[in-house]
Amino acid sequence: MIDKTLFIKKANFEIILVQIYVNDIIFGATKDCLCEEFVVAMQSEFEMSIMGELSFFLGLQVKQSKDEIFLCQSKYCKEILEKFEMESCKEASTHMPSSCYMDADAAGKGVDQTKYRVLIGSLLYLTASRLDIMFVVCLCARYQANPKESHFQAAKRILKYLKETTNVGLWYPSYSPIHLIGYSDSDFAGCKLDRKSTSGTCHLLGSSLISWHSKKQACVALSTA
Non-local CB neighbours of 193 within 8 Å, separated by 6+ positions: 103, 104
pLDDT at 101: 78
What span, in angstroms and rounded, lies between the C-alpha atoms of 20 and 27? 9
pLDDT at 41: 92
Domain residues of the chain, as ranges? 6-52, 73-169, 176-216
Chain length of the chain: 225
**pLDDT by 10s per residue, the chain, length 225:** 777 899 999 988 999 999 999 888 999 999 999 999 999 999 999 888 888 889 998 889 999 998 999 999 999 999 999 999 998 899 999 999 887 778 889 899 999 999 999 999 999 999 999 999 999 999 999 999 999 999 999 999 999 999 999 999 999 998 888 899 999 999 998 888 889 999 999 999 999 999 999 999 999 998 877
Phi, psi (5° rounding) for residue 120?
-65, -40
pLDDT at 217: 92
Cite the DSSP H helix spans in the chain.
32-45, 74-83, 113-126, 134-141, 149-164
pLDDT at 219: 92
- CB contact at 8 A, 153 and 58: no
What span, in angstroms and rounded, lies between the C-alpha atoms of 199 and 180? 20
